[in-house]
Amino acid sequence: MIRIFRSTDIGIQETTEAVPGSWVALTNPTFEELEHVSKHFEIDLDDLKSALDEEERSRIQVEDNYTLMILDIPALETHDNRENFYTLPFGIIYTDKLIFTVCLIDTPVLTVFMDGRVRDFYTYERTRFLYQMLYHNATLYLKYLRIIDKQSEAVEAQLHISQRNEELLQMQVLEKSLVYFSTSLRGNEVVIERLMRNKTIPSTEEEKELLEDVIVENKQAIEMAKIYSDILAGTMEIFASVISNNLNIVMKFLSIITIVLTVPTIITGAFGMNVGGIPFGHNPHGFLVVSIIILGLTLLTGILIGKSRWMD
């Protein structure tokens, strides 16, 4: 899908013609749409397609008539009433007249601009628009990181009550999301730092200050992702130790029961042999006597094990 936006006196408007100062947004475009944009605006087709490759790394590339930036943006999908966080590439192409964005999804990074919810946003101020997108991308990472932190706290509370596989798997999914976020944020940091040194994109002092704010927000997101990841990893290790300890306690208890029950098994096995001269064999109360002996020895075994503090 191709949409064209332009700032007017009444706000951001969607148009049908890409005049100078417009913003061309490509969302999950078809090959025909990519080919049309490539030919009409003289942009390499591979550069347009690069943002649609989920394995594409973050980078900045300067061409003769445009500058290409590939960043990673956070994304959220809901599956089976569960929120799953991941990252995917996001392409920005900066030309001397237009600015292009390419993404597989309708990301919140862009919808806030399309809906006119960003203050001091004008499509014809391309450099400022570029830095504003980077800023909203960093703040979206921070927002999702806080959601992940709250979800991990909720799962941890459930684990205190019931240590089921479901909660442990959910913790693993959150930890995986944090790893994706950390890797993507570091890749974005490299692109932003290169953008600071880039001379092909003109910027005013005010726009440079905005880019510095982007760097600060991105570094904060990196630190938050690292902290949350360390906390989640530590929590997983603690609960793994607790589960292992509980298993050891259960195995000790079962071993004690096995040892205690071995005593009556040995005695009854000895008295059950089909040979002559068995003690109490002719005594009318022989069964009662043997039962008392078994009970006494069993209790004695249990007391001795208890005093040995084996269950501590």
Token representation of residue 173? 């999914």
pLDDT in the model for residue 129: 94
pLDDT in the model for residue 132: 94
CA of residue 165 relative to chain centroid, distance: 18
Mean pLDDT per 10-residue section of the chain, whose length is 312 residues: 91 89 94 92 91 89 91 87 87 93 92 88 92 95 93 82 73 88 93 87 88 94 92 80 78 82 80 66 74 84 73 58
Quote the CA–CA distance of 167 and 176 in Å, as a whole number.
Answer: 14
pLDDT in the model for residue 276: 60
Quote the CA–CA distance of 189 and 197 in Å, as a whole number.
Answer: 13
Residue carrying the six token digits 């009970």? 295
pLDDT in the model for residue 158: 79
| Pairing label, strands 82-95, 99-103 | antiparallel
Token representation of residue 214? 């982007």
**Which residues are CB-contacts of 291 (< 8 A; sequence separation ≥ 6)?**
none
In this prediction the pTM is 0.80
pLDDT in the model for residue 182: 93
Residue 99: burial class (beta carbons within 10 Å; 0-12, 13-18, 19+): buried
pLDDT in the model for residue 235: 80
